[in-house]
Chain A
């Protein structure tokens, strides 16, 4: 049997994962980049341990750039976000479009339990089009430094 690999791959040298090759369908494009990193537009989600909800949002344009991310509902079940019409248009989304959401996590190197999540700037992805955007929420319930461990602890104490 002859198998042909028609899917194009992209090879990138990363600081954490060495050289990785990413199949094109796994590449997520953020046309505006991440806020403050507007030049980095292509990303892939990588994990070091598949069971760990913490993952990496690895830039494919800068191998040294990777953001720790988590699905917000993995630690905060009542997280809700309303996506503005402008952002929905940008992402080609309507109410029925599935969406993937990650929030950026800051993990202090010497005290990982003090990790916080940025609930005001979630990365919203339209998996059908493989495009995403770090959106800016105007939601006074949330902050850019929400303690993940406190949230989990509070929930388990209820």
Chain B
């Protein structure tokens, strides 16, 4: 992994058209600005990991027959009348 030290307002270029700027450093938090072509996908890594984890639990926990949503709603209403 390439490691660089940067100060606020300094940037890093990745290739010719991706610019990553350190906007602010406050305690444990770093605000980062990213300028990139619209075709480049950018997202927080932990969201990607959460989705992967949720995909796994969706296939692990699921029953063989899906419950009927309407029946569950009716049952829940009977238990908690409005």
A84 interface hit (Cβ, 8 Å): yes
A residues near B48, Cβ cutoff 8 Å: 35, 136
CB of A35 within 8 A of CB of B52, answer: yes
B5 interface hit (Cβ, 8 Å): no
Q: How far is the CA of A67 from the CA of B75 in the complex (A)?
A: 24
How far apart are A158's CB and chain B's nearest CB, in angstroms?
A: 10
A109-B61, A156-B82 known; A37 vs B55 contact (CB < 8 Å): yes
A residues near B75, Cβ cutoff 8 Å: 113
CB of B66 within 8 A of CB of A84, answer: no
A interface bracket (residues with beta carbon within 8 Å of B): 35 or more
Type the 1/0 row for B26-56, where 1 means its CB is closer than 8 Å to any CB of A: 0000000000001111011001101111111
How far apart are A86's CB and chain B's nearest CB, in angstroms?
A: 5
CB of A86 within 8 A of CB of B58, answer: no
CB of B56 within 8 A of CB of A51, answer: no
Interchain Cβ contacts under 8 Å between A and B, 24 examples? A35-B48, A35-B55, A36-B52, A49-B68, A54-B67, A56-B66, A66-B59, A68-B62, A85-B38, A86-B38, A86-B39, A86-B40, A104-B55, A106-B58, A106-B61, A109-B62, A113-B76, A118-B55, A138-B44, A144-B51, A144-B54, A145-B54, A153-B73, A157-B82
Residue ranges of B at the interface with A (Cβ–Cβ < 8 Å): 38-41, 43-44, 47-48, 50-59, 61-70, 72-73, 75-77, 80, 82
